[in-house]
Amino acid sequence: EVRVVGIATRTGPAAPEGAATAFLTEDALAELDPAPAEADALAVFAEPGVPAGTVADAIRAALPDSPLTVHTDAGKESGTAGANRAAALDEVATLLAIMALIGCFVSVFVVSGTFAFSIAQRRRELALLRTVGATPAQVTRMVTTEAALLGAAASAAGCLIGVQGSDGITAVLQHYGMAPADMEVPVSVPVLIISFVIGLAVALAGVFAASRRAARVRPAETLRESDTDTRVMTRGRWITGGLFLALAVLLLVQLPRAGDDGAVVISLVLTEILVIAMVAFAPLLVPPLVRVAAWPVAALTRFTGTLAADSARAAVRRTASCAAPILVTVAVAGSLVSMSNATSASAVNDERSHLRAGAVVESGTRIGVPEAGVRELGGLPGVRSAAPVGVTSGFLVGYNALIPSDVGAVDPGRLADSFELKAADGDLADLRGDTVAVSRTLSGQAGWKTGDEVSLRLSDTTALKLRVVAVLDASAGLPGALLPRDTLLKADPGLAAGRVYLALDEGADAARVAGGADAVAREYGAAAFDRESWLERSAADSEREGRILVLVLLGMALLYTGIAIANTLVMAAEQRASGVLLLRRLGATGGQVLRSVLCETLTVVVVGGILGIAAAGVTVLGMSRALDGAGGASFPVPWAEMGGVLGGCLLIAMIASLIPTVLQLRSTRTPRPAAVVPPPGPGLPTAPQDVEPSVHSRS
């Protein structure tokens, strides 16, 4: 026992959450730990006016062959904290990589669709160039050069926005606890160059198919007057749609065999493949969907709704191009939310299926529950055994990579009272000495098999040589790598139990035992829960983390698709300008024209939403089948989330259609009817007549 003589106030940076420091005299420390003292760290103070870096360089020069490391400023937070920070940064890097993959898919998809729509709008212009002698190769080079110039300008602007916006993304990640509080994003010239090149490559990849289509424009198309699209289903669309549809069917068949983790990865790819297939077959899907989507509008608004439906059906290419970004937005959002729900449901179902403990104690700090607290909890009435689980972070040394993972310190005997764990290979009862048991997921990632001699590094870089004795069929909410408690405590003596699982006597009241355990746990900064309350809490925490992850992943993608929706509909409004003028000449009022345009926009959004929900629905169905085969976990269909995303798309689309149409109406006045002039009499000159110019529509 020691006597507290004062409370020290920390100066400088705030201490990490849960960290605590106690200062003792050497005599008191010797009484607590008679073993010879070995310093883990040594503080060196520089003389006034001497830079810390100079002192650090002098120490390194004096100890050239020593394994000791010298840190200054922020680097002083070394050891476990530094390793935990490295693990957190590794998770951030993985998250950003997934964001980049989703963003790359959305970018190529939207850019290619925009260029294709632009080429369709400029067919008469391109046909005119062919008429005056331009060769197909020259047309291709012209379109590609335009894309390169636009891509270069947009990439440069994107690099500038990225430099300024990186702090915002970092702040969001830090706010939700997904990045270290001291994480900074330095400006790297090589990274900016790579980003610029990738942006330019995305533009060129997106224009490839459109440039080939532009080269096939015939000179005779300069005389085309009709706004009705013909032969929109080209050979390329049939081939592309067929290939991606076949690939989607293949992945859908493989989903039930992929397991929980594999199903999530395959589902994300499946959604993107289905989106591409649907866009390729859009000319076949759009007309019947327009009839379905426009029927309620036509029934309610009569003339304007019917006119909007006919316009959307006639201009299939325009309708498909406008619906494409809505399709990808709803599909990606629905599939990501579904995958988050599925992952959470799978984890909770895994723990529910294997947890036998009647109560669980969880520490509210990083200090954990000490051994004395574990013994006190194990001695409570109704408690058969208390199984402490200490958790630290580490890295599994695989074939060619370090796999970050939580590492747990457990007592196999007591753990068997609280969990029903089955080993896919080996036996958990052999977990003693320098051994390790890993989950099947980690076994596959690291390439570890039962009987292998492996290496594991703890968060403070301590290396352990271990033998794999079991590959567990399920993790059951436990760390992916389990070591005997005695073995891990030798390497990390300060590790305490973060959780204590209480196995109850037969007939014991779980709620009453949890209440008694909570009274004990609060003395150590912990809290106790009965089994059902613990599972509900785990489900809520898992769902919250999943929502945060989806928010971060979807943020940039939805921002980009929102811009694409607005851009495509503004382009469509330009193509619709001649139709607006014709309606005004036929006597339609400005309000009728606006209602017709808004009805057509609503129809387009509904068509895109139906296709997006269908793509996400196939993914949800596949994941549901996979989880049913892997353990029966069920998850809700994200109707509210997809409805919210679709509502946002509708709002953006309405604004993007309304503003150009209002400007077009302001720039056109209702023309006067043509003057009726009597035929000229004998000897009178022919009077000039007011002849209205012919109205041409652009294809």
Q: Where are the domains of the chain?
A: 85-225, 275-354+538-670, 365-524
Q: Over the range 402-432, which residues count as b (16 or more CB within 10 Å of their CB) and which as e?
A: bbbbbbbbbbbebbbbbbebebeebebebbe
CA distance 418 to 355: 6
Q: Are 341 and 335 spatial neighbours (Cβ–Cβ below 8 Å)? A: no
Around 24, how many Cα atoms within 13 Å sit in the side-chain half-sphere? Answer: 13
Residue with tokens 């400029």: 122
Residue 689 confidence (pLDDT): 46
Task: Measure Cα distances from 550 to 117, 120, 174, 611 in Å.
Answer: 31, 36, 15, 21
Residue 419 bridge partners (DSSP): 355
Query: Residue 486's CB: how many other CB atoms inside 10 A?
Result: 11
CA distance 471 to 548: 31
> Rounded to the nearest 10 degrees, what angle do helices 303-314 and 316-354 cross at?
90
Residue 38 confidence (pLDDT): 62
Residue 162 confidence (pLDDT): 82
Structure tokens at 533: 């309350």
What amino acid occupies position 618? V
Q: Are 613 and 622 spatial neighbours (Cβ–Cβ below 8 Å)? A: no
Residue 329 confidence (pLDDT): 86
Structure tokens at 424: 């896919």
C-alpha angle 12-14-20 in degrees, rounded to nearest 5 = 110
Residue 39 confidence (pLDDT): 64
Low-confidence residues in the chain, pLDDT < 50: 12-18, 74-83, 673-677, 682-699
Around 620, how many Cα atoms within 13 Å sit in the side-chain half-sphere? Answer: 23
CA distance 130 to 143: 13
CA distance 265 to 249: 16
CA distance 294 to 305: 7
